[in-house]
């Protein structure tokens, strides 16, 4: 009787363990992607605006815009957001990227100190 109880307990443990294992195996690892894009901005306030346009809930893991190089390095979950969508998010915050031009009304909303020189095209 005692042996049976032990056996059942052991079996239950094993079953529980294998289920946990299967679950963690099922859960897909996030295949983070890192890309660099050019974003035309000027100062530290631009940095704030550019970086806060990219949010964690949108699949962004990290972002860092360099004021001197104008390069934004962004790590994101490609299952959640595309690089194209990232360009658009930055552009909608008022900043031209190397691919997407910011809407004029978004640019106009920027603080005067942040009004970077736009290229004509």
Interface positions, 99-118, toward Cu ion (CB under 5 A): 114
- CA–CA separation, 45 vs 59, rounded Å? 23
By the rule CB under 5 A, 43 interacts with Cu ion: yes
- CA–CA separation, 74 vs 86, rounded Å? 9
By the rule CB under 5 A, 42 interacts with Cu ion: yes
- CA–CA separation, 17 vs 5, rounded Å? 18
By the rule CB under 5 A, 45 interacts with Cu ion: yes
Residue from 37, 39, 46, 91 touching Cu ion (CB under 5 A): that is 46
DSSP structure class, residue 69 = T
By the rule CB under 5 A, 6 interacts with Cu ion: no
Q: Which positions touch Cu ion (CB under 5 A)?
A: 42-43, 45-46, 114
């Amino acid at each position: 009787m005692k042996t049976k109880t032990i056996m059942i307990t052991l079996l239950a443990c094993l079953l529980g363990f294998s289920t946990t294992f299967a679950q963690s195996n099922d859960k897909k690892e996030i295949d983070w992607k890192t890309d660099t894009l050019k974003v035309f901005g000027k100062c530290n306030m631009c940095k704030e605006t550019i970086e806060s346009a990219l949010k964690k809930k949108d699949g962004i893991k990290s972002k860092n815009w360099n004021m001197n190089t104008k390069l934004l390095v962004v790590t994101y979950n490609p299952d959640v957001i595309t690089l194209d969508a990232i360009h658009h998010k930055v552009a909608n915050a008022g900043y031209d990227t190397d691919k997407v031009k910011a809407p004029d009304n978004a640019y106009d909303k920027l603080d005067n100190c942040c009004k970077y020189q736009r290229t004509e095209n």
